Amino acid sequence: MPSSETIIKELAKNNISLQKVTIKLVENTDKLNKRIDKLLGIFEEASKHVGDVDTDKVRQLTMKLDNLLDQNRDLAKGLLLLEKYVRDKEFSTPL
């Protein structure tokens, strides 16, 4: 059986690894949020010009935007679940 000092060192290493993963996850989430903000700005700008476009084109654009919003929602849910998983793993590590 490993000594308590070895166990403590391993736990410390695991904790540091989990913290690094959490930091990367938060950074990537921040990058994703910035990209979504840019995308939202593009959509807002496009919505100002929708009146100048043919009705069929508007319908197609609306369908594409709805698909993008659904994909974005799924990605956001996945990121939140992943973050929750990492946090649960970090806090459930026995001392």
**pLDDT tens-digit series, residues 27-74:** 999 999 999 999 999 988 888 876 666 778 778 989 999 999 999 999
pTM: predicted TM-score of the whole model, two decimal places? 0.46
Whether 7 shows a pLDDT value over 70: the answer reads yes
Residue 72 has what pLDDT? 93
> 3-state secondary structure string, the chain?
CCCHHHHHHHHHHHHHHHHHHHHHHHHHHHHHHHHHHHHHHHHHHHHHCHHHCCHHHHHHHHHHHHHHHHHHHHHHHHHHHHHHHHHHHHHHCCC
Residue 86 has what pLDDT? 87
Residue 44 has what pLDDT? 87
